[in-house]
Amino acid sequence: MRILISNDDGIYSPGIAALAKVASRFGEVRIVAPDVEQSSMSHAITSSRPLRYKRIRLGDFESYRVNGTPADCVAPGSISV
């Protein structure tokens, strides 16, 4: 099973790595989260600039930081990784 983990607190929040560790017991984990805290952004999407992502090291997980909102991180087709 493939598991996508995202949040609105940013890629470097302590909880996202803890969640990924637990979720990895159930399947292949990929983390895609905003590069900065985005609380209260709800379902906002970025349409005013190109989205960019960067692969980062976050434990043993395939992880990407995105210069967009949480919705940008999980919308199919918004980024290709």
Q: Convert 47-71 to b/e letters by CB count within 10 Å (16 or more is b).
A: eeeebebeeeebeebebbbbbbbbb
The number of folded domains in the chain is 1
Pick the residue with more confidence: 77 or 61? Answer: 61
Domain for residue 79, yes or no? no
Domain for residue 81, yes or no? no
pLDDT for the residue numbered 40: 83
Q: Which residues form the domain of 62? A: 2-74
pLDDT tens figures, 1-51: 999 999 999 999 999 999 999 999 999 999 999 999 998 887 899 889 999
Domain for residue 16, yes or no? yes
Domain for residue 58, yes or no? yes
Please check the confidence at residue 80 and state whether its pLDDT lies above 70: no
Domain for residue 37, yes or no? yes
pLDDT for the residue numbered 75: 82
Domain for residue 41, yes or no? yes
pLDDT for the residue numbered 76: 66
Q: Convert 1-22 to b/e letters by CB count within 10 Å (16 or more is b).
A: eeeebbbbbbbeeeebbebbee
d(CA 33, CA 70): 6
Q: In sequence order, which residues have a C-beta less than 8 Å from that of residue 27 and are 6 or more positions away?
A: 1, 2, 3
Domain for residue 21, yes or no? yes
